[in-house]
Amino acid sequence: MTISLNFEQFECEQSEAPWVVLIHGLFGNLDNLAVLRRALQSHFNILAIDLPNHGESPWVETFTQLECVNALHDLLAQQSIDKCHVIGHSLGGKVAMQMALHFPQLVTSLVVLDIAPVTYPPSHQAVFAGLKKVDLSAIKSRKDADNVMQSEIKIAGVRQFLLKSLYQDTQSNWRWRFNVAGLEKDYAHISHFEVPKNQQYKGPVTFIKGGESNYITREHESVIGQLFPAANAKIVTGVGHWLHAEKPQVVNKLVLRALQQ
């Protein structure tokens, strides 16, 4: 079954400008990379997507990275985009890497924000616990939800990020835009990275790492080199996993330089 992804398209005034696809991370939506999108918009046409189980894209029975890739492939065909740069953060970076490995002919270049092509140990148990503690039928405001989540999710910035996806529907019922139960059920598919056999992406790849983040380490260099032989790395000092939110101007410049090389 084909998944019809929610997306927004931003066309550049320059004729024949190349396309860039932006892919957000876990629990996010297409607005998460809006600052980066605005920095690129004068040079590129932009396609920003909501992954399945996120934003306004459909909720699915089983979330896998390959399903995301196939859905993006279909969307590009529908929009008559036959070549594009692909940029992804965290889970979005995994989807971006899989896109380049499975459909290299569609990918001009790849920019990966603070994630490696590896399987990570579980690290979101507290987030799921905090989200499940929120009784959506009982809360009156985002502040109520924030108070409930505090016992499980200690970092205020993480709670504020999650709360961006809490909204009231047309009947004034509180809802999460992401599928909490589905994402928890399929978490193994999210943390996993299936390395395709005998496949490489030989085009230009830039990994941008947060200097305080441990999502990309020296141990990951060999698998990165194996899958992406033309890869290079940049480090943004003084930031963690949310590097594009913490130092947007630095990250924006690095991304623009990577796309124009």
- Gap between the Cα atoms of 112 and 119, Å rounded: 16
Can 241 be counted among the known catalytic residues? yes
Out of 54, 57, 90, 109, pick the active-site residue: 90
Question: 198-229 burial by CB neighbour count: b if 16+ within 10 A, else e?
Answer: eeebebbbbbbbbeebebbeeebeeebeebbe
Q: How many CB atoms lie within 10 A of CB 113?
A: 30
Angle at alpha carbon of residue 261, lines to 47 and 242, rounded to 5° = 55
Concatenating the DSSP letter of every residue in 79-114 gives: TT---EEEEEETHHHHHHHHHHHH-GGGEEEEEEES
Structure tokens belonging to residue 2: 């084909």
Can 54 be counted among the known catalytic residues? no
Phi and psi dihedrals of 97, rounded to 5? -65, -40
Minimal CA–CA distance to 135: which of 177, 168, 175?
175
Tell me the one-letter amino acid at 90.
S
Out of 24, 85, 241, 244, pick the active-site residue: 241
- Give catalytic residue positions: 90, 241
